Amino acid sequence: MQSRITRQKVREARLNVRLRPDLKDRIEKAASISGKSITDFAVTTLVETADEILERHQIAQLSDRDRDIFLTIIDRAAKPNARLKRAAKTHKKLIIK
| Domain locations along the chain | 19-94
In this prediction, residue 1 carries a pLDDT of 54
28-75 pLDDT, tens digit per residue, is: 999 999 999 999 999 999 999 999 999 998 887 878 888 899 899 888
Q: Cβ–Cβ contacts within 10 Å for residue 41, how many?
A: 18
Helix or strand holding residue 87 (H, E):
helix 82-94
Amino acid, res. 69: I
Q: What is the CA radius of gyration of the chain?
A: 30
In this prediction, residue 17 carries a pLDDT of 92
CA separation for the pair 22, 97 (Å, rounded): 80
